[in-house]
Amino acid sequence: MPKTAIITSPITGLKMKIRRWKLRDMEHLAELADAADDGVDILSEAVKPCWIETLDAGIYPAEYVKVGTASAPDWSQLLKTDVLYSVFGVRIASWPDDSERGMTPEHYQFDVECKYCQPKYSFQQQVRLTQLKFLPLPKASAEAIGARRPLECRGPDGKLIKFELPKLAQDRDLVEFRNKKAAKGKAKGKAKPSELLAAQTTFIEGLKTQSMTDRVRFFAELDLADLVPIRNEMSKAGSYVAQNVDCKCPKCNATFAVKLPLQANFFMPSDPMEESPPEIEEAPEEQDPEEQDEEESH
Ligand SMILES: [Zn+2]
């Protein structure tokens, strides 16, 4: 198996040469995934150490991505979907072929909790990473990114709204905003839709200030009829990524979709020994012979 691979993003045309994960990378990433801290940018952590060379900057301007080996892309400015695609590429290049268990390097097995079973029931779901489709950006969006220009849409009363497609830099802003709120005891649970939209927005006509707080308030004050068209415009401008995996609960047979989770075993294979212990010739030391007899008589 070659130690390097070429990843070409179907979203933006970004083309990179990468190396496989080393064990230390995988251990670090599995730890981060277990911690499940929103403040940790696990996507760029997963691809950063593996970058060797940029072969084609795709639609990105030279401020963010330079061709060659001298400097790595500015991960915070890449589209999140692009970074996600690269992480899949590194993962597939790094993974062993476990044909004994019917798992190719493209396979990923993760834990799903059934949405219907009571009491709670979890099962393992398999997905082939290459089945998740990434589609190219609309031309207008690609041009806007190349020119480092925000995209535009209209809100209620024709108000101009400028926004960018999801990128990791916005997560950083959002975490900062939420940490400040948390310090005042106001941020609980996951980021709200109004906060996510505000993080993606750079300008809203008619606001007193363009601060994150004011942008969040603007979205939070909208009613659904006003919000839906804005949201549709914003998502239409992005690249479509089918990240939903159809699952079927083996216990109740219910079918439902979940968004692909990046769990620890996405980054580090679980030990097959834990799943099916090998046959040990020696008798286990601590077993009481009487207990053993009892077990056998059942
Ligand atoms: Zn179920």
How much distance in Å is there from the Cα of 222 to the middle of ligand 1? 36
Tell me the pTM: 0.83
* Tens of pLDDT, residues 66-86: 999 999 999 999 999 999 999
As given in the structure block, the two tokens for residue 59 are: 């639609």
Compute, in angstroms, the gap from residue 123 CA to the centroid of ligand 1: 9
Q: Is the pLDDT of residue 297 over 60?
A: no
125 CA → ligand 1 middle, Å? 13
193 alpha carbon – ligand 1 mean position (Å):
28
Report the run of H or E that residue 173 belongs to, with start and end: helix 168-183
Which is nearest to 107 in space by CA: 260, 271, 276, 5? 260
Task: Report CA(253)–ligand 1 centroid distance (Å).
Answer: 6
Distance 178 CA to ligand 1 centre (A): 34
Q: Which two tokens stand for residue 158?
A: 């024709």
* Amino acid at the residue 241: V
pLDDT digits 0-9 by tens, 266-284: 998 876 555 554 455 555 5
Percent of the chain scored above 70 by pLDDT? 88
The chain-wide mean pLDDT, for the chain, equals: 87
Residues ≥6 apart with Cβ < 8 Å to 245: 125, 127, 132, 257, 258, 259, 260
What was the pLDDT predicted at 90?
Answer: 96
Measured in Å, residue 112 CA sits from the centre of ligand 1 at 10
Which tens digit of pLDDT belongs to each residue from 88-116? 999 999 998 888 878 899 999 999 999 99
CA 50 / ligand 1 centre spacing (Å):
39
Q: How confident is the model at residue 290 (pLDDT cuts 50, 70, 90)?
A: low
